[in-house]
Structure 1
Amino acid sequence: MKRILTTTLRTLPRRHTTLLRPLTNHSRIHNFHSTPPTPQDGAASSSSSSSSTNPQMAFPCLDALETRTSNLLNNHTPVKKFSSGSGPEPSYTTGPHLTYTSTSPLHLDWGGTLPTYTIAYETWGTLNNSASNAILLHTGLSASSHAHSTPSNPSPGWWEKFIGPGKALDTDKYFIICTNVIGGCYGSTGPSSIDPSTINKATNGSGEPYATKFPILTLLDMVRAQFSLLDNLGIEKLFASVGSSMGGMQSLAAGVLYPERVGRVVSISGCARSHPYSIAMRFVQRQVLMSDPNWSRGHYYSSIPPHIGMKLAREIATVTYRSGPEWEQRFSRRRADSTKPPALCPDFLIETYLDHAGEKWCLEYDANSLLYISKAMDLFDLSEDVMRDMRGRREEYAVRRDGGGGDGEDEGGRCTLTLPEEAYQEQEEEAETTATTTAAQEETSTRKPPKDLIEGLKPLQNHKVLVIGVASDILFPAWQQKEIVDALKEGGNGNVKHVELGEDVSLFGHDTFLLDTVNVGGVVGEFLRE
């Protein structure tokens, strides 16, 4: 399928229009120029040109990046025509939504505080008289609250085919609530929001964005904010907590934090603790993004956004969202145009697909939100030892805030991290232990969950829980969902339903939760009806 992609500044959330102000120092654009340096000796240049047997290779992909940078610098609308198979991915559309603003502070796990905060949310269906039919739908990392179309925003939502009368989340029975998470950029308070402490200091009274003065978040912080919204809506107990990917992690966290306020739990393609591979992939994305000079350590809101770093970060992420077998079927080794010589820019169809994925997202999402939310995913761990440490920190920060000790200041904005003086060294003993452990795991075909994870999930021992995994998922492999199931069962839960979709059912990898209305949506709908 061929598709024309137009990247326009109209896709930016309203608060991001400040990104388009021209820079006073135009030299920053030179960081992205790919034009070879001019030789000092003109004669040498002429001689080199005449003696060369090969022409200079063209780089249209770099030209496009430079054009967008230039257009942003000059406040023009960048337009790029691009052909690629777009696939069936839903759009993360934003637009009109409801808002809830809390005037009570949100104290965060790592010590920061949001004195006030806003949550963007949307609802579908009708809340019954007893407020007992509410389902909280948690999003993935980059999704807005727009999971389904509404009268005020008829654009299809990211779970459009899963929500509605008779569907997985049946709006004839349930009242569905979906929020944009705290830290996001689609209406909820995040790094691009105005820092209240700057409003009185600003000469025009409008204040300045938090940027990287925004405090470190956890997924549990996001869940606490969501339950503040539920309090405002008069919902004491959810019929179910449902989520996929990062939302699957939040769904478990909701049950662990508020076991008495959650009925059923659905976790799709999620985990109970982040593992090294996914942490590594998100780390690389953040490093690429922060290396874009236009990121400016997060303070880019009055200049050029780091669109190049964002594009590359999204391309890396997209690699993890699908499976090799699906791409083999979809793209094989086909080139975009086999009649033309190979190029270092996007050439194979798989390359044009990744380029398209980065293009359509690099100006739609706030870079700082990506950094903060992806880090929150890395920090996620429902193991009892981790949760106990978190509770202890929260109590310590509360004492400081109440004036009972310390200087009363939050630690959330401080960073005392230092890089190791020496590079990591691989240890022979460590490699041997790893090899032995891996062999033993393969031989027994089982991964027993650690005892502290079993203890950490015990608040869910009396809940009905549905866990869905996908064999072709490389970002959240199916063994991570099995770890959730095993930990719940070891902790005494006899009401756990586990479904694993094999490669014969789905080759869509991690993105299966967005696409499979039968094997994901059907199972969820049946579980909620049981």
Structure 2
Amino acid sequence: MASFQNAARSASRRLLKQCETPTAFAGRNRFHLSQSSHLRRLHSVPPRNSQSTAASNPALSFPCLDAQEEKTARLSARSLESGPEPSYTTGHHERFRCEVPLLLDWGGVLPEFDVAYETWGTLNEDKSNAILLHTGLSASSHAHSTESNPKPGWWEKFIGPGGPLDTNKYFIICTNVLGGCYGSTGPSSVDPSDGKRYATRFPILTVEDMVRAQFRLLDALGIQKLYASVGSSMGGMQSLAAGVLFPERINKIVSISGCARSHPYSVAMRHTQRQVLMMDPRWERGFYYDSIPPHFGMKLAREIATVTYRSGPEWEKRFGRKRADPSKQPALCADFLIETYLDHAGEKFCLEYDANSLLYVSKAMDLFDLGYEQQVETRKRRAEYERKITQGDKQLEQSDPACSLTLPEQPYEEQPSVTASIPPINESVFDRGDKNPEAPPEDLVRGLAPLKNHKVLVMGAASDILFPAWQQREIAATLQAVGNKNVEHVELGEDVSHFGHDTFLLDLKNVGGTVQRFL
């Protein structure tokens, strides 16, 4: 076993050293075709030994693999017609084209970019009633139906006359984030410098980069100050980031099921999704746009994501331990009802969102950290890039083209958390006299200082496993530590809402009602 592990580790190192350029992709196609054929042979029923009369047991069938192979055979083009559960839709949207270059936090530059957006309600005369609605990872700008696009949006019941986002009072703006694939510039867009798709030549993004692009749109609309910044999930991260970046341009902030910094569990889950996607041979290091898209990897990535979006209590009630067909023999493919649910969720999504957008946007979520030290380092980095641009240096390398990843000779050893050594802030921030060892770190308190005077609503759900409720409690406690006296924190218990992370999409009464009262 030890010799096998050593051989595998050596092979992995050899592969990791073979960093290839886009020009090498065509040469690898033959390898992937032969690899696909090899995989099909592996999944097929093995031939019987001619010397034996019969096997002890019949070979199992794999309808799930058969279905994927049939799908591969049918595919001739990609499809970006909608998005994940509940169905995000595209269709008609407005487009803001910005021709002023956008410098990104990690050194990339977009010479020009588009932001897809939609609006509802009427902007008042002094343009003071605008609400910027931020989306989750894979949503389009279509949060609500419009005359030009009557399909229901992803927050359809939350927006409208008399609704939580009341279009009789407010002018609602929703964008597809930078890096997305529903009209805003992302990896599937064309690089204006050479007329070819960016693919993985697209620069690394941050949540703050997305927010800066949104505020370019607000500038074009003549909106100097938002009535509110509202967002859920990744949108909740954007909403806080908008307040930190542009505190003077926002009145109220709503952050639902979000965080002030990404934590290890959610980073680990998104890493796993990216890994299964990139291991799909059809991903082609991101240059798959003229061939079959990596639908195997996308399907599996979505199934992993769906596990984190919903909750155990809900699944106990909906599925329990029921099998799809108890009269049949158990199968290695989807057999239990929960398995068929995940299989459907993955299959539905695998051609409805760009694989590279999933990689880039999810990575931006991982990089999210509103701590003071991170903000200082980012400002220094941006200042250095701006200096180089001013001096005419057009080759702003984001990273060394050589492979940076090498497998360690020794197994990884756990290290103590950096934040564990930071002394807790005064216990008075929790409005009670007992000392709380879980007080937010000073670095985060300093990082959220720009939000001291804002009215902020922070919401979470106890059944959320992707952004657990303690992360929203951390936001609220940190803002209280800053000295903010206008923080409202609402945590929905499992007895009230058991939809997990997707509570923000489904619970109109508790989520929508709270937002409506706050606004």
Same fold by TM-score greater than 0.5:
yes
Q: Which amino acid aligns with 1:172?
A: N
Of 480, 485, 493, 2:476 maps to 485
Whether the aligned pair in 1 keeps the contact of 2:113 and 2:185 (CA below 8 Å) is yes
Q: SS at the partner of 2:51?
A: helix
Deviations 1:480-519, CA, capped at 9 Å, x for gaps: 0000001100011000000000011011010000000010
| Residue of structure 1 in register with 2:49 after alignment | 45
| Residue of structure 2 in register with 1:208 after alignment | 196
Alignment CA distance shift 1:415-1:447 (3 Å): farther
Aligned mates of 1:415, 1:137 — CA distance in 2:
37
Alignment CA distance shift 1:37-1:360 (3 Å): closer
1:306 to partner: Cα distance: 0.3
Q: SS at the partner of 1:119?
A: strand
Matched, 1:476 2:480: no
| Residue of structure 1 in register with 2:23 after alignment | none
Whether the aligned pair in 2 keeps the contact of 1:214 and 1:413 (CA below 8 Å) is no
Whether the aligned pair in 2 keeps the contact of 1:31 and 1:293 (CA below 8 Å) is no
| Residue of structure 1 in register with 2:426 after alignment | none
Alignment CA distance shift 1:138-1:318 (3 Å): same
Q: SS at the partner of 1:45?
A: coil
For structure 1, the 5+ residue unaligned runs are 1-22, 78-87, 199-206, 438-442
Matched, 1:419 2:406: yes
| Residue of structure 1 in register with 2:440 after alignment | 449
1:71 to partner: Cα distance: 1.1
TM-score (norm 2): 0.87
| Residue of structure 1 in register with 2:67 after alignment | 64
What does 1:90-489 align with in structure 2 at a 5 Å threshold?
Answer: 90-198=86-194, 207-403=195-391, 407-412=393-398, 414=400, 417-426=404-413, 447-489=438-480
1:33 to partner: Cα distance: 1.5
Q: SS at the partner of 1:240?
A: strand
Alignment CA distance shift 1:32-1:172 (3 Å): farther
Alignment CA distance shift 1:424-1:524 (3 Å): farther
Alignment CA distance shift 1:375-1:31 (3 Å): farther
| Residue of structure 2 in register with 1:17 after alignment | none
Deviations 1:421-448, CA, capped at 9 Å, x for gaps: 3354335x959x99xx9xxxxx987521
| Residue of structure 2 in register with 1:12 after alignment | none
Q: Which amino acid aligns with 2:304?
A: I
Whether the aligned pair in 2 keeps the contact of 1:159 and 1:514 (CA below 8 Å) is yes
Instruction: Kindly report structure 1 stretches of 4+ aligned residues shifted beyond 6 Å.
Output: none
Alignment CA distance shift 1:400-1:302 (3 Å): same
1:420 to partner: Cα distance: 4.3
Deviations 1:6-48, CA, capped at 9 Å, x for gaps: xxxxxxxxxxxxxxxxx89854642542555798xx8x63334
Aligned mates of 2:374, 2:246 — CA distance in 1:
17
TM-score (norm 1): 0.85
| Residue of structure 1 in register with 2:21 after alignment | none
Aligned mates of 1:444, 1:336 — CA distance in 2:
52
Aligned-pair Cα RMSD in Å: 2.3
Q: Which moved more, 1:444-453 or 1:279-288?
A: 444-453
Matched, 1:55 2:65: no
Whether the aligned pair in 2 keeps the contact of 1:472 and 1:508 (CA below 8 Å) is yes
Whether the aligned pair in 1 keeps the contact of 2:45 and 2:59 (CA below 8 Å) is no
Deviations 1:404-431, CA, capped at 9 Å, x for gaps: 8xx552123655623243354335x959
Whether the aligned pair in 1 keeps the contact of 2:208 and 2:241 (CA below 8 Å) is yes
Aligned mates of 1:477, 1:212 — CA distance in 2:
32
Alignment CA distance shift 1:450-1:516 (3 Å): same
Q: SS at the partner of 1:51?
A: coil
| Residue of structure 1 in register with 2:40 after alignment | 33
Aligned mates of 1:163, 1:37 — CA distance in 2:
51
Deviations 1:190-241, CA, capped at 9 Å, x for gaps: 000001111xxxxxxxx21100000000000000000000000110000000
Aligned mates of 2:410, 2:301 — CA distance in 1:
25
Aligned mates of 2:108, 2:41 — CA distance in 1:
42
1:94 to partner: Cα distance: 1.0
For structure 2, the 5+ residue unaligned runs are 1-28, 424-433
Aligned mates of 1:37, 1:68 — CA distance in 2:
17
